[in-house]
Structures are given as C-alpha cells and as structure tokens.
C-alpha cells in the first residue's frame, strides 16, 4: 500500500469521525431540549405530542403498539419458564 493511500484513508476516517461527532452532538442537544421541555410543561405536553403523533401516523402507531405487545408477551413467557 502506498503512503498516499494510507494518508487518504486517515483523512476519510477523520471525516467520518467528525461527522459522527457532529451527529452525536446534535442528538444530545435534541434530547436535552426535550428533557427541558418536559420539565417545563410536564406530562401534559408529552400527552399532546403522543396524541398528535397518533393522529398524524395512525398506522405507525398501531405497528409500534403491536410490536410492544409482542415484546411484552415474549418477555412474560420467558418469566414463566
């Protein structure tokens, strides 16, 4: 392998790490804003958000509920053994 190939690989790796770092920072910021919003508005705001999501995406909400139900069923079956 040539030395310029290794340096370009390092450069690509550096770019990927920077992209990952940026993505993580944005996600952490979003989570912090949501936590602050929850602290300010409490459970009512979360309830409104859930209802809005259910109205906007009823099929997705149904699939999520079915998946959670199946997961809980599997977990409760494991406990009985």
- Is there a contact between 38 and 46 (Cβ–Cβ < 8 Å)? yes
Strand (E) or helix (H) holding 6: helix 3-56
For 10-36, write each residue's pLDDT tens digit.
Answer: 778 888 899 999 999 999 999 999 888
> Which tokens sit at 63?
């699939």
Higher pLDDT, residue 81 or 42: 42
* Nearest C-alpha neighbor of 53 from the set 42, 65, 36, 41: 65
Kindly indicate the confidence band of residue 57, based on its pLDDT and cuts at 50, 70 and 90: very high
pLDDT tens for each residue of 63-81: 999 999 999 999 988 876 6
Averaged pLDDT for residues 30-58: 88
């Amino acid at each position: 392998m040539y030395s310029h190939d290794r340096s370009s690989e390092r450069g690509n790796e550096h770019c990927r790490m920077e992209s990952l770092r940026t993505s993580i920072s944005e996600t952490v910021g979003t989570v912090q804003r949501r936590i602050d919003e929850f602290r300010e508005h409490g459970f009512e705001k979360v309830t409104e958000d859930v209802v809005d999501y259910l109205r906007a995406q009823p099929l997705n909400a149904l699939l999520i509920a079915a998946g959670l139900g199946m997961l809980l069923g599997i977990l409760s079956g494991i406990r009985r053994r």
